[in-house]
Amino acid sequence: MRGDLSSLHHTPGKNAAGRAAAALVETGMSVGLGTGSTASEAVRELARRVREEGLRVLGVPTSYASEQLARELGIPLASTEDVERLDFAFDGADEVDPDLNLIKGRGAAHSREKVIAAMADQFVIVIDETKLVDRLGTRFPVPIEIIPMAARFVMRAVEQLGGEPLLRSGGKKDGPVVTDQGLWIIDARFEEIPDPDALNRSLHALPGVLDHGLFLGMAHLALVGSTDGVRRLMPREWIRPDVVEK
């Protein structure tokens, strides 16, 4: 089964952040379409602008779920094989630290999301305030997408790195979650991640790993929604409550 997003709920903060991201899109742009509840709000608002304002965009989805939503809403789509770069991409995150480093992957789409983020001239994160943390690993594990035959090997390696690995199981049927690439997910929980760069290198070096959910130095801007509006956050600018929408 694919990653189950049914447990992700919309809130006023998430909705506001998603709409604020869609407002940054200009006609003629190629746009990476993120996955998850906040990103889906941006996709919906982007579709409204296409329909009502005549906005011309080309969307490149990060997952089967975002592709299906965009297709249903009438956003013209392309694949990563059709474009060399993207003008803009938006996506959600599970955790965001003061440098705008991220943990992503609760929706099991992080490998494709990372490709889209790397292709984008501007990568914007859309979240609510609950996703802000002082240090990565505070609340969420690091998802690792693996080929199935490497599961036991990678889990032992994660333990040696100080983590607690757990093979992600499906929520609605027996067996592991299967990603859009046909692979499995190991959720690696670390008591703390003092050096995300070192962990990034260690995980990438493991045979059998396609990619993991640490997104380091990739985000240019975070739009943080709350009941009071949306703040723009750049790295190390958490204290600036720049409200862009109320």
CATH code at position 43:
3.40.50.1360
**Residue range(s) defining the domain that contains residue 101:** 12-134+217-245
**Residue-level pLDDT at 227:** 86
Let me know whether 125 and 173 are in one domain. no
Task: Compute the distance between CA of residue 82 and CA of residue 97 in angstroms, rounded to an integer.
Answer: 33
Measure the CA angle with vertex 123, ends 119 and 126; round to 5°: 140
Let me know whether 17 and 107 are in one domain. yes
Let me know whether 33 and 125 are in one domain. yes
Let me know whether 54 and 157 are in one domain. no
Let me know whether 16 and 73 are in one domain. yes
**Residue-level pLDDT at 111:** 96
Average pLDDT for consecutive 10-residue bins of the chain (246 residues)?
42 89 96 95 97 97 96 97 96 95 95 97 95 94 98 98 95 83 97 94 98 96 92 63 42
**Residue-level pLDDT at 10:** 65
Task: Compute the distance between CA of residue 44 and CA of residue 105 in angstroms, rounded to an integer.
Answer: 21
Three-class secondary structure of residue 155 per DSSP: helix
CATH code at position 182:
3.30.70.260
**Residue-level pLDDT at 172:** 67
Let me know whether 119 and 72 are in one domain. yes
Let me know whether 103 and 18 are in one domain. yes
Catalytically active residues are 113
Q: Count structural domains, the chain.
A: 2
DSSP letter (8 states) at residue 3: P
Let me know whether 117 and 225 are in one domain. yes
**Residue-level pLDDT at 9:** 59
The answer to whether position 4 is within a domain reads no
Q: What is the DSSP string of 26-95?
A: -TTEEEEE--SHHHHHHHHHHHHHHHHH---EEEEESSHHHHHHHHHHT--B--TTT-S-BSEEEE--SE
Residues pairing with 94 in the sheet: none
Spatial CB neighbours of 47, under 8 Å, sequence gap ≥ 6: 70, 73, 74, 75
**Residue-level pLDDT at 49:** 97
**Residue-level pLDDT at 234:** 81
